Amino acid sequence: MRSTFAGLNTMVSGLSANQMSLDTVGHNITNANTDGYSRQRVNKATTRPETIYTYSGATQLGTGTTVESITRARDEFADKQYWKENSNLKQAESEQTVLGKVETVFEEPTDSSLQTVLNKFWKSFQTLSTNASNYSTRVEVRDSGKELASSIETAQQQLKDLISDNNSSISLKTDSINQITDKILQLNKQIVTIENSGSGYANDLRDSRDLLVDELSGLVSVNVTEKANGSYAISSNGMLLVDGDTRTELTTKSTTDSDFGIQILTITDKSTGVPLTSTSGEVKGLYDSTAQVKDYLEQTTNIAAFFLKDFNDVHKAGFGLNNETGNNFFGSDLDQYGNGLDYSTIAYNTGTSQWSITQYTGGTASTTATGATITITSTEILNQLKVNTDFDAKNGTDLIAAKSATTEGEASGTNALKLAAAFSTATGTTLGTVSLNSYYTGLTGTLGTAKKAIDRSVDNLTTTVTQIEGWRQTTAGVNWDEELTNMLTFQKGYSASARVLTTMDEMLDKLINGTGTVGR
């Protein structure tokens, strides 16, 4: 026969289950605006029934409810999609920022852009060709040449500064990755301890861990695997960043670029030196944008090489007011004994990816200088782009070769026209098969196209990430209407259980205190 007081336990289980459900609703509501929080729910089940024997036979009588677990609502597929696309978005945003800064270096199209300075230099030769004997016109040619050299030098330094900024960012990102993976490691240990001790699911700790993975996915590409014990193993393109109860500490490695002498930072495993080759994320964006900036540095080097070689060759073929010839416009000339760099020999070897030039040494009044081919860096070429210092001496502007022959008059500007034409003539040497104007237009056009492409990519990826985040919130987000409905449901359940318990108490009171004693 069933115990007289058995029904009380049934209703107590109902009170307890509804109380826990109300507590969980309260937890959801108070954390509705907490970053990374996932809505929690109470999973209930019936308790083991009691077998009761009646005149008709055995029957199963329910004994109440029990809370099996409290779990969080989470869409793992949406999480993985978010981590992937968020990583792509942060990479694109990183590249977008740097390309935007590169655009400010060239300042196209503005009055202070390099194109404007080039045009000013070209126009000065156009003016010189009409009145080559005018002193002020020759001064304008010299000074506009200095302005051009200064503009290219400034652009070079600004591009180098961008790479330095990227290095600083890479260093900061490395610290951030280490901090995040350390926190994930600690959360792994706490989650495993709680869940494997039979204390239920560590829902709030899991939320904190997933929020950290969200942050990590913005820095590097991540592949997340949950182990049987509840810990995460996280890798980035094959490198394990966190593996259960261990993690990889990262550091930065600095190498010197052979072309420009600038420092390039990469992220490596601190213990093995193996490089981190992330396929997306801010780190990948910084790597790629550094390579892009270096490409623009190389293109400014080509422009400098054009003026040092091709433009100088045209100038050296002409004659100044004093009929002197063979003078460089940019860079210094060989000295009186033939010592120095011969800019007409500048060449780029695609096989070795190096610039070369002939250097003459050993020349004296009695000894002929000997030439030898040497390798020079891109930085050395850019640094050599200075207007010939001889032009600053007294009557130095007379050396500007505006005429093509000694038989021409002082006002002749035939060679000045050739120098102006050099801007739009394909030389086939330092710039390949295109003219300077076409080369620079191609440079700025490519930059503009790349910036527009990355802008579109950022817009598209932002839309995608926003959509995926919406999917995640559909599952994990707290819905106020739903929670208030649940609150009323559980409140009614609690009240009903309490009412039944009160009724049972009254029945037992009647049984115990209202029933007479036999034989009294």
- The distance of Cα 58 from the centroid of its chain, to the nearest Å, equals 71
**422-442 pLDDT per residue, tens:** 999 887 788 888 999 999 999
Average pLDDT, whole number, for the chain?
92
Which of 155-159, 165-169, 198-202, 302-306 bottoms out in mean pLDDT, i.e. has the lowest?
198-202
Give the mean pLDDT of 376-400.
93
**65-110 pLDDT per residue, tens:** 999 999 999 999 999 999 999 999 999 999 999 999 999 998 777 7
pLDDT at 188: 96
- Residues near 58 by beta carbon (within 8 Å), at least 6 away in sequence: 51, 52
- Rounded to whole angstroms, the Cα distance separating 514 from 89 reads 77
Give the three-class secondary structure for 33.
Answer: coil
What percentage of residues in the chain have a pLDDT greater than 90? 80
pLDDT at 511: 81
**Residue 505 clears pLDDT 90, i.e. is over it:** no
- Rounded to whole angstroms, the Cα distance separating 82 from 467 reads 9
**Residue 113 clears pLDDT 90, i.e. is over it:** no
- Extract long-range pairs of 116-121: CB within 8 Å, 24+ residues apart: 117/144, 117/147, 117/148, 117/151, 118/148, 118/423, 118/436, 118/437, 118/440, 120/144, 120/147, 120/148, 121/145, 121/147, 121/148
| Beta pairing, strands 246-247 & 57-61 | unpaired
pTM reported for the whole predicted model: 0.89
pLDDT band at 169 (very low <50, low <70, confident <90, very high): very high
Cis preceding linkage at 109, omega within 30: yes
pLDDT band at 516 (very low <50, low <70, confident <90, very high): low
- Rounded to whole angstroms, the Cα distance separating 54 from 57 reads 5
Question: Best-predicted range by mean pLDDT among 342-356, 376-390, 454-468?
Answer: 454-468
pLDDT band at 147 (very low <50, low <70, confident <90, very high): very high
Give the mean pLDDT of 351-365.
91
- Rounded to whole angstroms, the Cα distance separating 317 from 402 reads 10
The burial of 475, by beta-carbon neighbours within 10 Å (0-12 exposed, 13-18 middle, 19 or more buried), is given as: middle
The burial of 272, by beta-carbon neighbours within 10 Å (0-12 exposed, 13-18 middle, 19 or more buried), is given as: exposed
pLDDT at 433: 87
